[in-house]
Amino acid sequence: MKALLSKLGFGSSAEEVREIVQGESPALQGADLAVAYFSSRAGGDLHEFLRVSPHRFLFGLLDVAGKRETGAPVIQAAQTCFRSSAEDLFQDPELNESDAMIELARRLNLEIMRAAGGVRSCPAFAGCYNEELGTVCYVNAGHTPGLLRDDASLVELPATGLPLGLFSLAPTDARIVGLGPKSSLAVVSRGVVEAESKTTEFGLDGVKSVMQTGPSSAKDLSRGILLRVQDFMHTSPKHNDVTALTLMRAA
């Protein structure tokens, strides 16, 4: 049973060694996407990504409130909804990406509330990367801000709506940002931002400092963020799930 729980991402014991897991990296045209997380998964972090058209790639990072063992049905429902909605909403080559992202957020919100049998907060960041245009159309439903870095600046991508799972009719807006050559986008879970050392939080500034070093790939960036968190805390994180999802456009 412990082996099965571990395979599914549920921590088997408090003494489990927390190693950095590098998730599978999908094949993108002119860019790369990577995710990294610590092996002990006790919270509600859910990352998902899949190709939805010949030149569009959908990705998301959700944080279902509560412990993983009690929130497992909600996490599973959100993942199933994300995948089925992606296939349904993004097939049309002439689609309006903003409308599709807003509808994705609406469906996820309702499905999370249905699976939870009521209110269950779920901050979420989801984006659609357009490989032809080098753009990301995203919704940020009360999630930690995304970070976008290029040669000239590093900017935050703030919330465009309330967390999912709170109100059945909660509106969410969608925005579009461009990624120039060698630009990078990072979305991290609350566990990254709230990592503490002597009452000081790692914060978004800690993530920004890793991005400013100019990692050569998304894999290096996502793993570098988690290594910096571990160095900052002088131990492997135990306070929450710690996840970094990154996208980097080629030169």
Residue with tokens 């990592």: 195
Question: What predicted TM-score, i.e. pTM, was given to this entire model?
Answer: 0.90
Q: What is the reported pLDDT for 18? A: 66
Domains of the chain: residue spans and CATH:
18-249 (3.60.40.10)
| CB neighbour list of residue 66: distance below 8 Å, 6 or more residues apart | 43, 44, 120
Bridge-based pairing state of the strands 200-201 and 184-188: unpaired
Per-residue tens of pLDDT for the chain, all 251 residues: 334 333 334 333 333 446 899 988 899 999 999 999 998 788 889 999 999 999 999 999 999 998 888 889 999 999 999 999 998 999 887 899 999 999 999 999 999 999 999 999 999 999 999 999 999 999 999 999 999 999 889 999 999 999 999 999 888 999 999 999 999 999 999 999 999 988 899 999 999 999 999 889 999 999 999 999 999 998 888 778 899 999 999 98
Q: Which residues pair with 243 in a beta bridge?
A: 37
